[in-house]
Amino acid sequence: MPIGLGDEEAAAYASGEAPGSFVDMLGTAAYRCAAAAQRLGVFGALADGPLTAPALAAAIGADQRGVGLLADALVEFGYLDHTGDGYASTPVAAKWLAGSAGYAVVELFWQRVLFELWDGLEESVRTGKPAVDFYAWLAERPETSRHFQTMLDAHATHLAAEVGDLLPVSDGSVLDLGGGHGRYSIALCQRHPGLTATVVDFPGALGTAAVEAAGLTDRVTMRAGDYTREPLGTGHDLVLLFNVLHGHTEANNRALLARVAEALRPGGTVAILENSTDVPPEEGRAGVAFLHTFSLNLFHGQGGQVYPAARIGGWLTDAGFRAPTTTRLRESPGQHLILAQRSA
Ligand SMILES: C[S@@+](CC[C@H](N)C(=O)[O-])C[C@H]1O[C@@H](n2cnc3c(N)ncnc32)[C@H](O)[C@@H]1O
């Protein structure tokens, strides 16, 4: 939690009279403490009520002195309260950081990114090339990979109905590039009995179990492969590129869109789901700050970035698509669905 500075203190840091970066340094320490507590199970252990430091240490199997010092720091940073009965989670910590499901997974993923993946950030910025390969890094970390896929799956589950309403397809063949968890292809095939789908993604990302659970193994094919190299086939009615273009450079996106045009039948649709640099006001200052964090992370780990929706529209036109349209999603205003038809 941002530490609550008094007006005078805050003004001194904001004006430059005092080093404002010191407050950010403390913010980083605060987040490091919260992350350690989350991973140690501190907030889960306090779910049933306050515990003294020795009792908390015993509950999470950790060192008593270490737990006491961490807990005191967490009190200062707003994640714990010190009560007469010991330490208790603050409402923020209890609601968002106890356990490892729901929003807590987002934090578990981003902690690893910020504390480990961003180690070589300066090198990426200096050279203009990703200093790490995000997906290779992820493949070596099964737990973080699971958190990443869980996060994407939950987001897709939330948006699938709205996106399904906007996609102009009812039967035929869908190619879902980088479709991983398969949630969008599953939802489309459930909605349209005449549709089949092929999801292409790296082997560890494929949500084969979800397809089986939906009883759709005869209509949704999960294909392990690299969509930048694999043949994409021809005659598809719809190609999904959902949260995919942000992982590539402009040149690679142009090349991919040209291949997608060849894979579609004339009049077939490419559907692109992406964040755009024009963040709607309802996303607030935090939304804008996250977009910059996300974009920098894409640059650092994949050579991509968040692009303006209009720029993607230009690539589509250059690749032989007609009149791209952009719709901001109601359920996630930062996400834009861009649709365009392959010219005849
Ligand atoms: C940000 S996720 C988006 C997942 C899904 N389309 C969605 O919107 O929820 C990007 C996906 O693309 C996959 N991916 C990235 N590069 C790929 C490549 N070259 N070949 C196949 N899959 C790739 C990743 O494994 C990941 O599942």
Q: Please tell me the residue having the least CA distance from ligand 1 atom 24.
A: 178
Nearest Cα neighbor of 248 from 326, 302, 181 is 302
Q: Taking CA 260 as the corner, what is the angle to CA 218 and CA 262, rounded to the nearest 5 degrees?
A: 100
Considering the domain 7-99 in this protein, what is its CATH number?
1.10.10.10
State the pLDDT confidence band at 193, using cuts at 50, 70 and 90. very high
User: And the tokens for 55?
Assistant: 């009792």
C-beta of 204 in contact with ligand 1 (< 6 A): no
State the pLDDT confidence band at 194, using cuts at 50, 70 and 90. very high
Which part of the chain is CATH 3.40.50.150?
119-342
Residue-wise pLDDT for 232-288, tens only, equals: 999 999 999 999 999 999 999 999 999 999 999 999 999 999 999 888 778 789 999
Q: Which CATH architecture group holds 119-342?
A: 3-Layer(aba) Sandwich (3.40)
ipTM: 0.99
**What pLDDT sits at residue 281?**
79
- Close Cβ partners of 299 (under 8 Å, ≥ 6 residues apart): 124, 130, 305
Residue 274 C-alpha to ligand 1 middle, in angstroms?
Answer: 12
The single-letter DSSP state of residue 62 is -
The single-letter DSSP state of residue 281 is G
φ/ψ region of 80 (left if φ > 0, alpha if ψ in -120 to 50, else beta) reads beta
C-beta of 335 in contact with ligand 1 (< 6 A): no
State the pLDDT confidence band at 199, using cuts at 50, 70 and 90. very high
Residue 58 has pLDDT above 90, yes or no: yes
* Over residues 221-239, mean pLDDT: 97
**What pLDDT sits at residue 162?**
98
Buried-state track 90-102, b at ≥16 Cβ within 10 A, e below 16: beebbebbbebee
Which part of the chain is CATH 1.10.10.10?
7-99
Q: What whole-number percentage of the chain has pLDDT above 90?
A: 92
Q: What whole-number percentage of the chain has pLDDT above 70?
A: 100
**What pLDDT sits at residue 172?**
97
Residue 289 C-alpha to ligand 1 middle, in angstroms?
Answer: 23
Residue 138 has pLDDT above 80, yes or no: yes
Question: Cβ(45)–Cβ(82) under 8 Å?
Answer: no
**What pLDDT sits at residue 1?**
79
Residue 342 C-alpha to ligand 1 middle, in angstroms?
Answer: 23
**What pLDDT sits at residue 312?**
97
| 124 vs 129: CA distance, rounded Å | 5
* Over residues 183-208, mean pLDDT: 96
**What pLDDT sits at residue 238?**
98
* Over residues 191-207, mean pLDDT: 96
Residue 272 C-alpha to ligand 1 middle, in angstroms?
Answer: 13
- Which atom in ligand 1 lies closest to the alpha carbon of residue 138? 25
Residue-wise pLDDT for 303-335, tens only, equals: 999 999 999 999 999 999 998 999 999 999 889
Q: Choose between 339 and 101: higher pLDDT.
A: 339
* Over residues 218-230, mean pLDDT: 97
**What pLDDT sits at residue 280?**
78
C-beta of 178 in contact with ligand 1 (< 6 A): yes
C-beta of 137 in contact with ligand 1 (< 6 A): no
**What pLDDT sits at residue 68?**
97
| DSSP assignments along 220-260, one per residue | EEEEES-TTTS---S-EEEEEEES-GGGS-HHHHHHHHHHH
Question: Cβ(44)–Cβ(26) under 8 Å?
Answer: no
**What pLDDT sits at residue 283?**
79
Q: Please tell me the residue having the least CA distance from ligand 1 atom 9.
A: 152
Instruction: State which of 155, 181, 185, 202 you would mutate to test the pocket of ligand 1, scoring each by most atoms of that ligand within 8 A of its C-beta.
Output: 202
Phi, psi for residue 82 in degrees, rounded to 5: -100, 110
**What pLDDT sits at residue 2?**
77
Q: For the chain, give the mean pLDDT.
A: 96
Q: Taking CA 321 as the corner, what is the angle to CA 247 and CA 264, rounded to the nearest 5 degrees?
A: 80
Q: Which of 185-189, 286-290, 302-306 has the lowest mean pLDDT?
A: 286-290
* Over residues 51-68, mean pLDDT: 98
Residue 320 C-alpha to ligand 1 middle, in angstroms?
Answer: 24
- Close Cβ partners of 339 (under 8 Å, ≥ 6 residues apart): 166, 167, 168, 269, 270, 271, 272, 324, 325, 327
Paired strand residues for 89: 80
C-beta of 200 in contact with ligand 1 (< 6 A): yes
Nearest Cα neighbor of 129 from 302, 273, 330, 342 is 302
**What pLDDT sits at residue 3?**
85
Nearest Cα neighbor of 295 from 251, 327, 247 is 247
Measured CA distances, 338 to 106, 161, 170, 242, 274 (Å): 26, 16, 18, 10, 8
